[in-house]
Structure 1
């Protein structure tokens, strides 16, 4: 009875808006994401810990190897979320460190208290493990309430990582010539001043133990003299090797105030970093009567380096400072340098102190006798809003979702998928669900979704952490956490064969191929009578992925979700094997009318009491909106103004999410947007040499587009749709006559339009797949590739222009059904131009289908193709000389025309013999 009362107290409530829509939708297939309010991420200039050192977040790419905080080993970045503007919070910790992150950034945190020791055994984990996922905004709220007197005596802690395994090859440019212990001791008690370093190194110590350690490394410690002031002896290490080694490390001349740890020792192996700390702590370290370990120096850089090494070993380290000095005979204090004390706590303090008199205090009073498996944590001390900043989040193949940023542990995850399953999991004993990602390791541990279930349901659910984690509920329902690896489709089908799943949830469906998506849907069946056949997926915008085409109806030409279509239910049927074969409609009847033959054939083979309504699925896409994120806006009422201040298209992208961008496209874009814009802003590139270029569209749904050129300045356009070949040719012929362009200066797309020469014999055929020719034929695979390469160069150098009147001219695109401007369409087409580098060194333009897919809306390269044709007469002209050569050609042709008028033409029948 008591247990039932507890269960009735569980209330699962998504946030109003996107989360509520996504979680409560009863549509068959639900996609959602791309919203700012759910954004998670860190500053682009924050650092990611990798086995090769620290790398800025902005330099991380898909496939980058970074450090795994759970093991100290490696993990891989599998997804980069779009860069955008977010409201940022600063989370500060008890060790003086902090991290700036978005309000939706997730942290693995828990309330510290009596159960602060987390053990490794499964039994002890169940007893002590209180970890939860908390967003930065939740931490902000917690700290705000704590400051008001709530949660007295309760701190929020985050875990510290396991020792990081750095991978650094030993090369002449990365020297590590001195044993780490010796270097640590010399940094502590050595003298390496410029005046003496040419001859020898000095070590001043009262401890024979340290002297013996030096001897064990082969150093002669026989030369020494006693210090009259204290019990220290100064040892003269007359060793040419160690002098040269110190110089190699650029440490000669170091004084007490500017000592440091060389970079190559900071990133050495775990054991070498422990030995380095041993040398430092045996000399200048201190262990008090409570077993607390510290290190003091007047070098700020050295203090930071020591703290870095401690943290890289999974330890906790904080730095305090105070003025150092001395008292004279009259008791007057004379201030000198600032002294920095580094407080050190690791789970192996006895391994980083070897001097017996210090090590004994560590063993007697330190953490060693308590628990070697102790998991160290650090406490969150504050959270504050710091304004709008640019950032991004990454996804990793570590099932826990954890990675390290500036020595901090952070997570990435999605709550929406779990919330969508809340009701059936709690009420329907027959309900079965799966949450999956494309991660090779996610079947090994509960990971981030285990933490998510715990964060949402608490003790209401039980977790079986095995190779395939299962979250079970008192109702009898459960949710399995697994993975989809579609690199081998046959293996994937075998893995999923026979499964019966009421609800399939894909986190980041942009990691999944269309083939995998199509097959997994066939497993979308189960025994539940209330909630079955449901498919949920979250995603971020990614232009090159199939989801861009799948969602095309919801997306405007500018890449943003159309407000009047967001959340509107549609219906689809896959009438083939690719995303291009998806047939859409506003009702099942409309879809059936389009696919009747295929659907009826399948129904006849299936038999039974089914009809077309069972064959067609419903679909909806939900886009998060800023105005719906009330929790965030209540804390930051000026946030809307901050978004508006970012201005123009950027503000629109922040609020809506742009599906015409691809976060993984980091290659150099052949036509940057600034260069494309220059086509409409630069001075006209005219030279009197007139041409007409024609992109024919007789066998497709595209428009015929003809451009009139004066030199490389396009000043007029002809657009025809749904016309016959003869009408096309006659219209172009009239267009050329109106602009005084010779028919021999008409270039047309002859790939499928060779009929054109029947009407205009002198027109120049442009056969895109022909072999290239001219000066630069070795740079391209085809004529079209050759022309596009030159076109990109001319646009980038500002030598191709459009007339102002032409830029604002509008036309109706065949597949858009509404008018667009020439300038807008030109800019869109420039943004999708890409080349592949072939093994031969030549370039190949992406095929038309691939670029058209990036354009979306079934569009084609209406404007750039006729622009590329204008490059055909330039094949034998050096790059950069096109305009000048055009002047010469125009003058020559003018002279020839004048000569023909005065001397007569050889084709004049009166001159025949």
Structure 2
């Protein structure tokens, strides 16, 4: 029997000492199940005893009471969403056949000081022992069950190999907006068990309008980007056909979904399945979205009232997402590159056929970073990031070209601003004037050369035409408003600055302005601006004029 209600609201370290049964609901007690009355839970809340693990009123209670196959718990920062994932496992912590996995993107994410592993000791300490070995990272419960902290930053093929054949009754993903849709779908194939434990998938996150999750939960979100109160926790149904979130069949009942996807489901049906259930029950999943609210996290607000100020003192867009829980707010432009596009590029096969060249976004000390990419075809083979004076920057650029045997003719730098200094040192190089006329000679299609290169880069990324050396992606850099951040995460942030200006879209194609980019991500997108300059070598070929045609 699935005894969710027993554990959803309260765990007490000293439960064995309770002799007075009046605190238990008599209806459940007659069935041999000890379920505390809500009045008793309220009494314990007021005691504020740290030995008691009690769900907070509101969204956390709703989340822990959810019976949907898939539940996305998303919203404001500080809504106790991560802690709720840990509490969810308490439903079956005493079942010897309970196997669960909680995932974050990087393996180290869970191990960070004050992270989910440290917090888990408060929740599971009385029920088992934790193996801290990096190769294990598993809670071994006294009754035989296990809960493992896992990750998903490896390639999709490696990810599939790790999870293939696994059976886990509970899977939770913290910050699910960072996970690609195909990873999410594959995880569902491991969400199974043969011991009558309720299978469930739980994802927590903060709002991200550029993620597949935003599309997945769109029915629960209003036009203004905030969750619709009347739909909070309402269960819907879906059949997840295809490779994209846009291909999902949705309905308010399983029958409604089946009618839409009848042809596809019928093709998959076998008569032998009838003994296990109906088509609707076996192919269609239940889904809900629950909004997490900071104001309901009484423990956090009481212990750290300044947390609210920390959230409020951010950019307009970050405040809208973190404090208002807005899923559609964007300060500027139309996003062009999705998380899935980036993830595909990070794990793509080498696109190394073609020109060997270097692109450089020029900057000196005291400001933004100077970023140089070394390319083999459309494969980013190496990168150099520096913040030194002009003389040293020139020397580093020459050294980088020599290191990779790149001709000066195949060195491209941005001419605008500080790049003017490079002209005298690299006379044969290709200066990139981002305000220059597009290659077709007019501005009917693109606003300028920068827009043309950015557009072509976006299209190539979407077509899986770029790749990046694997070891580079984990290299960490620091700069204005970021410290010790991996290249992969830097690019994931900066891709949001590659947004099309949504004003006068009928005029021509252009990027949002540099001030808008800085407002959007909190800094200049130096890595991505030097990245899309790679396209200049392609379009520059078209600009070379042929001479001597009169002799033909």
What TM-score do the two structures reach when normalised by structure 1?
0.32
2:84 and 2:162 map into 1 onto residues whose CA distance is 26
| Contact 1:835–1:846 (CA under 8 A) maintained in structure 2 | no
**1:837 maps onto 2:463 in alignment:** no
The 1:625/1:441 distance shift into structure 2, 3 A limit, reads closer
Question: What stretches of structure 2 of length at least 5 have no aligned partner?
Answer: 1-11, 18-50, 336-433, 463-499, 510-552
Closer, same or farther: CA 571–782 of 1 in aligned 2, 3 Å: farther
- Structure 1 residue 633: Cα displacement: 5.5
Name the CA distance, whole Å, in 2 between partners of 1:641 and 1:442: 25
Instruction: Indicate the residue corresponding to 1:511 in structure 2.
Output: 178
**Does 2:69 correspond to 1:439?**
no
Give how far 1:789 is off: 1.9
1:837–1:655 distance in 2 versus 1, CA, 3 Å: same
**Conservation of the 8 A alpha-carbon contact between 1:502 and 1:528:** no
Counterpart of 1:559 in structure 2 is 225
Look up the match of 1:13.
Answer: 54
Superposition pairs of residues 846-885 of structure 1, within 5 angstroms: 864-868=504-508
The residue number in structure 1 matching 2:535 is none
Structure 1: distance between partners of 2:293 and 2:102: 25
Q: Which residue of 2 aligns with 1:589?
A: 255
Q: 2:108 and 2:148 mapped to 1: Cα distance?
A: 15
Partner of 1:540: 206
In 1, the alpha carbon distance for the partners of 2:154 and 2:327 equals 24
Q: 1:482 to 1:634 in 2, by over 3 A?
A: closer
1:789 counterpart (447, 468, 471) = 447
Separation in 2, partners of 1:635, 1:21: 23
Q: Give the conservation status (yes or no) of the 8 Å contact 1:450–1:463.
A: no
2:70 matched residue in structure 1: 29
SS in 2 for 1:33: strand
**1:133-184 CA distance string (max 9 Å, x none):** xxxxxxxxxxxxxxxxxxxxxxxxxxxxxxxxxxxxxxxxxxxxxxxxxxxx
Whose Rg is larger? Answer: 1
The 1:592/1:548 distance shift into structure 2, 3 A limit, reads same
Q: What's the CA shift for 1:865?
A: 4.0
* SS of residue in 1 equivalent to 2:116: helix
Q: What SS does the aligned partner of 1:599 have?
A: helix
CA-based RMSD of the aligned residues comes to 4.6
**Whole-angstrom distance in 2 between the partners of 1:638 and 1:778:** 48
Q: Where in structure 2 are the equivalents of 1:706-785 lying within 5 Å?
A: 779-780=437-438
After TM superposition, the structure 1 stretch with the greater mean CA deviation from structure 2, 652-661 or 493-502, is 652-661
Q: Distance in 2 between matches of 1:511 and 1:451?
A: 22
Q: Secondary structure, in 3 states, of the residue corresponding to 1:494?
A: helix
Q: How does 1:215-226 map to 2 (within 5 A)?
A: none
Aligned mates of 1:480, 1:455 — CA distance in 2: 16
Q: TM-score, structure 2 length as denominator?
A: 0.50
**Count of aligned residue pairs for this structure pair:** 328
Cα offset for 1:562? 2.2
Q: What's 1:573 paired with? A: 239
Contact 1:836 1:846 in 2 (8 A): no
Paired with 2:136 and 2:289, the residues of 1 have a C-alpha distance of: 30
Tell me: CA distance 1:564–1:11, structure 2 relative to 1, closer, same or farther (3 Å). same
3-state SS of the aligned residue for 2:67?
coil
Deviation at 1:580, TM superposition (A): 1.4
Following TM superposition, by how much is the alpha carbon of 1:491 offset from its aligned partner in structure 2, in angstroms? Answer: 1.6
Q: Residue 416 of structure 1 corresponds to which residue in structure 2?
A: 84
- Partner Cα distance (1:627, 1:462) in 2: 33
Whose strand proportion is higher, 1 or 2?
Answer: 1
Structure 1 residues 470, 652: closer, same or farther in 2, change over 3 A? closer
Provide the secondary structure at the position in 2 that maps to 1:430: coil
What is the correspondence of 1:130-169 to structure 2 with a 5 Å cutoff? none
Which protein has the bigger helix share?
2
State how far apart, in whole Å, the 1-side matches of 2:77 and 2:111 are. Answer: 31
Query: Whole-Å Cα distance in 2 between the matches of residues 644 and 514 of structure 1?
Result: 31
C-alpha contact (below 8 Å) 2:79/2:293 kept by paired residues: no
2:273 pairs, out of 607, 628, 636, with: 607
Where 1:482 maps in the other structure, the secondary structure is strand
Contact 1:469-1:481 within 8 A present in 2 as well: yes
Distance in 2, Cα, partners of 1:865 & 1:445: 45
3-state SS, counterpart of residue 286 of structure 2: strand
3-state DSSP class of the match of 1:866?
Answer: coil
Partner of 2:472: none
Question: Does the 8 A contact of 1:443 with 1:469 survive in 2?
Answer: no
Q: How far apart, in 1, do the equivalents of 2:240 and 2:440 lie?
A: 36
Residue 198 of structure 2: SS of its match in structure 1? coil
Equivalent residue of 1:527, what SS? coil
Q: Distance in 2 between matches of 1:844 and 1:652?
A: 31
Q: Tell me, yes or no, if the aligned pair for 1:625 and 1:656 is still in contact at 8 Å.
A: no
Aligned 1:420-499 pairs, distance under 5 A: 420-425=88-93, 427-441=94-108, 448-466=115-133, 467-487=135-155, 489-499=156-166
Q: Which runs of 5+ in 1 are unaligned?
A: 40-412, 673-775, 794-833, 851-859, 870-913
Distance in 2 between the 1:473 and 1:534 partners?
19
